[in-house]
Amino acid sequence: MTGTQIPLILDVDTGIDDSLALLYLLASPEAEITAITCTAGNVPARQVALNNLAWLELCGVNGIEVALGAEVPVIQPLMTTEETHGPQGIGHAVLPTPNQQISERHATEVWIDVVRSRPGEVMGLVTGPLTNLALALKICPELPHLLNRLVIMGGAVNYPGNTTPTTEWNIAVDPDAAKIVFDAFSVLPADRLPIVCALDVTERIEMRPEHIAALADVAGSSPAERIDPTDALGTRSQASNAVVRHLSDAVRFYMEFHREQDQGFLAHMHDPFAAAIALDPELATMRLATVDVELAGTLTRGQTVADWRGMWGRDSNAAIVVDTDPAEFFRRVIDRVGRFAREVG
């Protein structure tokens, strides 16, 4: 490690909740983002890369490589979800066109170079489909041993899916990649197994209008930031603080989507939670299990199945988050991102 910092490679399909995850990491002094690699998922991969460049530029951050990765899954056709995240993946927000450029290197090259250059140090954080990591593993099979640890946002273990009745989005987009990753990381000791943040817990991370209001207050933004469920669809923020304004516009879209799905006027913040766990695993209670991915089922392709009791006779290959304190998570988000927004305007 470099001092007290945690080097991270961030693999994303940005995405509204990926956007807040990025802001959380930028706001966290212990996080050192070594690179951002982009895969197709919520929106196409090139749009993902542009979204990350735009957020970095808005925040005045230079020097973080943003690399384009897989534009299609390993085998199956790509599906994206603009109805969930908006036409550009950032809800109602319209970020300035970035001046910074997408890296000339492919994401798989970045993954391999980063972990080889700092063996045993780097934390991998994947908040999108696992395609880039699966491709990197094909080239560099020793990658699991080179990482410090891997954190995955994905799967639904003892919980209904959000894409099909049995599947979570990130795994459903590329189940073949997910199986490659879970199989490859099964060689590690228990304390270095991938940490899996599945829907079982991430759907308890419910961001509500009052969280955005509190974050804006910390940022010193004016006027008071209020997202009201009675507002007209697509109402835009008038916040003086640019980070607050764009984040509010993005999250409002996500809240409107969840309401349309009869889940309430809220936003499930899956990816920021995974980011927080990457920096502080003590925020979660975890339980070891053996995870496999269904590839052949006509109704269940992409389902993550966990063997909690050793019935398969195989060693555990994942530490699954089974509990957390959502209030503490949001306290950290409000404090960190609010202060960061105040600093960068």
Helix (H, G, I), strand (E, B) or coil at 105: coil
In whole angstroms, give the CA distance from residue 170 to residue 168.
Answer: 6
Q: What are the angstrom distances between the C-alpha of 232 and each of 94, 229, 256?
A: 18, 8, 10
Single-letter amino acid code for the residue at 284: A
Instruction: Classify burial at 294, counting beta carbons within 10 Å of its beta carbon; exposed 0-12, middle 13-18, buried 19 or more.
Output: middle
For residue 270, indicate whether it is catalytic: yes
Report the alpha-carbon distance of residue 73 to residue 11 in Å, rounded: 14
What residues form DSSP beta bridges with 305? Answer: 292
d(CA 17, CA 45): 16
Q: What is the DSSP letter of 187?
A: G
Furthest C-alpha separation in the chain: 59
SS3 state of residue 323:
strand
Indicate left, alpha or beta for 221 from its phi (over 0: left) and psi (-120 to 50: alpha). Answer: beta
- Active-site residues, by number, are 270
